[in-house]
Amino acid sequence: MQKKKLSLQSESEKKRMEPKKNLVVHLLAIATSCIWGTTFASTKVLIEHGLSPAEIMCTRFLMAYIGIWIIAPRQLFSRSLRDEMLLVAAGLTGGSLYFLAENTALQYTYSANVGILVATIPLAMALVSHLFIKGERFHRELLYGGVVALIGISLVVLNGQFILKINPLGDMLTMVAVFMWVIYGLLLKKLEGYSTVFITRKVFFYGIITILPVFLTEPTHFQMNILSQTIVWGNLIYLGIIASLGCYLTWNYVVKKLGVVSCTNYLYLNPIAALLTSICVIGERVTWVALLGSILILTGVFVSEKKKKKKKQIHK
């Protein structure tokens, strides 16, 4: 009888703690998305100082890989060849190909084009998940919320300057980046049997390995006068330790807890973080159009998540 009481108490205590845990997971997703929104500015600074997209990606992942060994389990390989191949694919799609496509696109097209096209990731993820992941449904709230958020993103990215030009090569590279991140999300779902730290470490490793062939056609030109600059090292450390090591750990964790669709919805917040960074770092002027866009983005995220909250309440 006493044991039953204790088990009932522990179960009720777990139920009380669950909302708090869920809140922490959602806050981690928001923080991760916002930090990633600031990386456009850091990457742009590094490119302007003479570093190539491949050099930036390789350096940030190398820093993250060295850092993660402090907390990573000493298990070198996954439990099967199939899983190891999935991890190679995760390093390729969520690492080398994604960053190479996105950062190279910034050299050929306007950042506004890249920002708006990358913002289609949540809608693309929801649609693909509906087709390939059991239990993930593409409901109308996702569509309505996505459309509202995309309108808001367009307003934030353009910030009152309605100049959007088509550049086929740059825009196509951006869509390749979008496609890579969607595949990465699906691969994380298939790797749920492994710890977040192990998956993240392997993604960094295979991301580095798969970017190396680029240097055969585009030799690195690291120069000491570039690397000796504080602004260069500051941005590299920010991208490597915070935006890569820290954010990949939190992102892979929240994908496990929230599901790939709910988690990806928070990527709609990227442009708001990018706008705030531009205001604080570059001194960019914010317009009422951008403020309206920010409100629409937040509304879109709320609408996209509304269906799931309803389902949880009905289930309870």
Asked if pLDDT for residue 312 goes beyond 50, the answer is no
Residue by residue, DSSP assigns 150-190 as HHHHHHHHHTT-------HHHHHHHHHHHHHHHHHHHHHHH
> What pLDDT does residue 76 have?
82
Tokens describing residue 73 = 């389990």
Radius of gyration for the alpha carbons in the chain, expressed in angstroms and rounded:
21
Q: Mutual orientation of helices 2-48 and 53-68 as an angle, nearest 10°?
A: 150
User: For residue 198, what pLDDT is reported?
Assistant: 92
Identify the pLDDT of residue 145. Answer: 76
What's the angle, vertex CA 313, arms to CA 309 and CA 315, rounded to 5?
115
The letter for the amino acid at 297 is I
Q: Which residues are within 8 A (CB) of 310 and not within 5 positions of it... i.e. 6 or more apart?
A: none
Predicted pLDDT at 184: 93
pLDDT in tens, 188-214: 888 888 889 999 999 999 999 999 998
The confidence band for 244, taking pLDDT boundaries of 50, 70 and 90, is very high
- Residue 256: closest CA among 311, 179, 195, 308: 195
pLDDT of residue 124: 82
Residue 202 carries which side chain, given as an amino acid letter? Answer: K
What are the residue boundaries of the structural domains of the chain, listed by start? 37-315
* 42-46, 134-138, 146-150, 274-278: segment of lowest average pLDDT: 134-138
- Reference 57, options 168, 198, 195, 177; nearest CA is 177
Greater confidence (242 vs 123) lies with: 242
Contacts of 130 (CB under 8 A, 6+ apart): 136, 137, 138
pTM of the predicted model as reported, rounded to 2 decimal places: 0.78
Whole-number pLDDT of residue 48: 82
> What gap in Å lies between CA 174 and CA 105, rounded to an integer?
6
pLDDT band at 87 (very low <50, low <70, confident <90, very high): very high
Cα–Cα distance, 189 to 256 (Å, whole number): 7
